[in-house]
Structure 1
């Protein structure tokens, strides 16, 4: 990793483009990382030492264009920065904290996820690289989900799914579910036992179901009391 001397005049995130201006060509490239970010916000609600970026530029050296994963996770950094949040992820503004995980969602337009981007993330020192190819497209010999771990500066394909990542304290895998009304296969976070962590929508539905059950129990109890000649409103 490049180290920067404090005397160097480095551009700030406000002076740098926040992305590479390349539009996504599949809505899954936004929905999938946003789902992962939403679950993290739920399970790590008491933590402030993490950041999950979606389609945001990572600046690793002055004068170089950013690397822009579909999603990435950094640990040991402030979750929120300033009133407007991060415009981009600039290493020299983050105490040189390299993201611990990068995610690419492969769409019909292949963008070097298995070659160039893989080399870029390894060179940057990102510990985990996740490639999700829901349609697989031209890469039919590839797995739908591939998780790599950086070992001796080379990415090694992990074989377990969900794949447990002890440095993060979470696993990542896939299964069918519903997000924003769309039922299909999604990427999810998992605990060490392999249990999928619920989404905010699922938590809200569970709370709604519990409230409905409690109301039904109260109505049944009130009906029994009336059968006994007792007005429940008088209790």
Structure 2
């Protein structure tokens, strides 16, 4: 749980600004969390106890501006606030801190390794994920886990997160027509969960195989029917020949 002394009056989400009005300056800041969310919408389609926010303000104190990660995941909360959805994520209303926060480092310094790291630890965010596409020598993906109030860098990639029931990691894959490094969810065996477009393609391939198999079965049935017709024709010719010789063929 977040560690702050809150004032007596606490504004509601409707009374707070719904955004910091700062646009993202890198397309990846939108595409990467959107990919992760789209996969969750398929994996957890029957679950209503999770929420994944993208570029949404998290209010941790009513007298402080919100912190706006590129993406975050919360568990044991209402998936849909109401039909108008959440304008922001207010900790004193939700009473649950995000279990995972994602920051995609852009061209503008955003305090991902300093102020945000400290703030997320204070909020009690268990996993802090930083993806820095500009890195060349160091790892682009860093995954931190909160241990005794401080973040510790985890070595595994993908990293299995038992508290979430998912792993997270990066992999070079073609997504949306672009082959590059993307972040994905993984199962406990480090098998990557496919994106919606990949699942559509897999279903299309499966349908093609089923259609080909059906065609093959139909062709085989036609061949069997043709062979049966030939057998009947041969039997009719033989019967005619026997009758010409004055022999009545036996009828089976």
**Aligned length in residues:** 224
Q: Deviations over 1:77-99 (max 9, x none)?
A: 011111111110011221x2111
How far apart, CA to CA, are the structure 2 residues paired with 1:15 and 1:70? 23
Deviation (angstroms), 1:192? 1.2
Equivalent runs, 1:86-235 vs 2, <5 Å: 86-94=86-94, 96-136=95-135, 142-229=138-225
SS in 2 for 1:161: coil
Distance in 2 of aligned mates of 1:128 and 1:48: 21
Distance 2:60 2:100 in 1: 15
Matches within 5 A, 1:53-92: 53-92=53-92
- The residue number in structure 1 matching 2:232 is none
Distance in structure 1 (CA, Å) of the matches to 2:218 and 2:49: 49
Q: Which residue of 2 aligns with 1:2?
A: 4
Question: Post-superposition shift, 1:178?
Answer: 2.5
- 1:180 is displaced (CA, Å) by 2.3
Cα distance, 1:131 vs structure 2: 0.3
> Which structure has more helix as a fraction of its residues?
2
Q: CA deviation at 1:48?
A: 0.9
**Partner SS state of residue 181, structure 2:** strand
**Alignment partner of 2:121: what SS?**
helix
TM-score normalized by structure 2? Answer: 0.84
User: Which has the greater radius of gyration?
Assistant: 2
Q: Unaligned 5+ residue runs, structure 1?
A: 231-235
2:246 corresponds in structure 1 to none
**What is the rounded CA distance, in whole Å, between the counterparts of 1:9 and 1:116 in structure 2?**
26
Deviation per residue, 1:123-156 (Å, 9 max, x gap): 11111100001222xxx56421100011111110
Distance 1:9 1:117 in 2: 26
1:233 is matched with: none
Give deviations 1:153-206, integer Å, cap 9, x for gaps: 111000111111111111110111222222211000111111111111111111
CA RMSD of aligned residues (A): 1.6
In structure 2, C-alpha distance between the alignment counterparts of 1:90 and 1:81, rounded to whole Å: 12
Quote the residue 2:23 is aligned against.
23
Q: Secondary structure at the match of 1:195?
A: coil
Separation of aligned partners in 2, 1:110 and 1:172: 24
Task: Extract unaligned runs of 5+ from structure 2.
Answer: 227-252
Shift of 1:4: 5.0
Residue aligned with 1:177, SS: strand
Paired residue secondary structure (1:176): strand
SS in 1 for 2:179: strand
